[in-house]
């Protein structure tokens, strides 16, 4: 009888111990927990050691541990360097196109965007994901490809890179060209704010629907290969620029911004009319990201044909 009671007590203690252990894990009190960080379809799972503050679910959700990961800082540095060089090369090329003696020089801009974007994507996608724009970073964070902390680090790097890139342009560019083309900044010209906002939204959505749908799909992107994925994304960007130039019909409108960081640099360094409607180049693309994210949740998961 005593042996039976002892066994029953031992079973109850073991059951309580297992229940408590399970409860601790559910409530984040375990020694370690797993966090999945998907970088363009490549699942990277790592352990985050428990220490004061890190066991809070909110910090784990935003990926605060990324601040202490050297690889994330290297990726952010890549975004900074790539954005700086992209702003410099793309802006100089676009101004050269606009200042050419062609009949309609604006039509050269989409070709310049396509070639330069393709080259930069080919180099940077394997290194940092090839964002170089807060738009791609924001949609990547929404879709869970990167953590919010990494997204913030990327956006800061991109904005600083834009400022540095345009500072170089301001230093070396002919003053006449810098004045005529407002340092290559984003200006809505004679467009109404709501018209410019609609153009930004629609053109950004086109890029997201065509480029991101393929780029963030592991199966499709693996099947197509890196060059083809970069080709599609670059083509979508060139198409968006072409459509925005043609549809507006405004002489002083150089096309859709697509990249808020690209619009920020000239606005800070040159100011003036570039601040007029500057919010459009942020609100339009970010609104497009949110709508695209909702739409992407309802896209077919399997090929139907």
pLDDT at residue number 25:
36
- Look over the chain and give the mean of its residue pLDDT values, rounded to a whole number: 82
Domain spans of the chain? 69-296
**Roughly how many angstroms between the first and final C-alpha of the chain, as a whole number?**
70
| CA atoms of 287 and 135, how far apart (whole Å) | 10
Answer whether 122's CB lies under 8 Å from 227's CB. Answer: yes
Give the pLDDT band of residue 253 (cuts 50, 70, 90).
low
pLDDT at residue number 144:
92
pLDDT in tens, 73-123: 999 999 999 999 999 999 999 998 888 877 777 788 899 999 999 999 999
Give mean pLDDT, residues 153-168: 97
pLDDT in tens, 27-48: 333 333 223 344 333 444 343 4
DSSP letters, the chain, are -HHHHHHHHHHHHHHHHHHHHHHHHHTT-SSEEEEEEEETTEEEEEEEE--TTTTSHHHHHHTGGGGG-HHHHHHHHHHHHHHHHHHHHHHHHHHHHHTS--SSGGGGHHHHHHHHHHHHHHHHHHHH-S--SHHHHHHHHHTTSS-HHHHHHHHHHHHHHHHHHHHHHHHHS-HHHHHHTGGG----TTS-HHHHHHHHHHHHHHHIIIIIHHHT-HHHHHHH-HHHHHHHHHHHHHHHHHHHHHHH--TT-------HHHHHHHHHHH-GGGGTTTTHHHHHHHHHHHHHHHHHTTS-SS---
Sign of CA dihedral 170, 251, 253, 98: negative
* 3-state SS, residue 38: strand
pLDDT at residue number 305:
56
Give mean pLDDT, residues 184-199: 87
pLDDT at residue number 177:
87
pTM (2 d.p.): 0.79
Give mean pLDDT, residues 214-232: 92
pLDDT at residue number 251:
56
Q: Which CATH number fits domain 69-296: 3.30.450.40, 3.40.50.150, 1.20.1080.10, 1.10.510.10?
A: 1.20.1080.10
pLDDT at residue number 225:
94
């Amino acid at each position: 009888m005593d042996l039976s009671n002892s066994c029953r007590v031992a079973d109850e203690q073991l059951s309580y111990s297992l229940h408590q252990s399970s409860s601790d894990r559910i409530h984040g009190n375990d020694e370690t927990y797993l966090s999945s960080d998907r970088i363009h379809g490549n699942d990277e799972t790592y352990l985050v050691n428990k220490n004061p503050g890190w066991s809070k679910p909110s910090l784990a959700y935003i990926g605060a541990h990324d601040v202490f990961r050297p690889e994330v800082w290297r990726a952010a540095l890549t975004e900074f360097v790539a954005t700086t060089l992209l702003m410099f090369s793309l802006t100089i090329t676009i101004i050269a196109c606009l200042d050419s003696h062609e009949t309609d020089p604006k039509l050269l801009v989409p070709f310049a965007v396509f070639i330069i974007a393709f080259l930069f994507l080919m180099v940077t996608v394997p290194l940092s994901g090839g964002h170089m724009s807060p738009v791609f970073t924001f949609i990547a964070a929404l879709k869970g490809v990167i953590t919010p902390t990494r997204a913030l680090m990327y956006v800061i790097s991109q904005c600083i890179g834009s400022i540095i890139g345009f500072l170089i342009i301001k230093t070396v560019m002919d003053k006449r060209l810098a004045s005529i083309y407002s340092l290559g900044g984003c200006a809505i010209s004679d467009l109404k704010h709501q018209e410019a906002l609609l153009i930004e939204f629609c053109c950004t959505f086109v890029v997201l629907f065509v480029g991101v749908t393929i780029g963030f799909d592991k199966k499709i992107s693996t099947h197509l290969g890196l060059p083809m994925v970069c080709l599609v994304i670059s083509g979508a960007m060139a198409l968006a620029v072409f459509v925005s130039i043609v549809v507006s019909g405004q002489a002083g409108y150089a096309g859709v911004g697509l990249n808020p960081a690209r619009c920020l640099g000239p606005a800070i360094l040159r100011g003036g009319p570039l601040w007029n409607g500057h919010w459009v180049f942020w609100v339009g693309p970010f609104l497009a990201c949110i709508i695209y994210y909702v739409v992407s949740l309802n896209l077919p998961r399997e090929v139907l044909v």
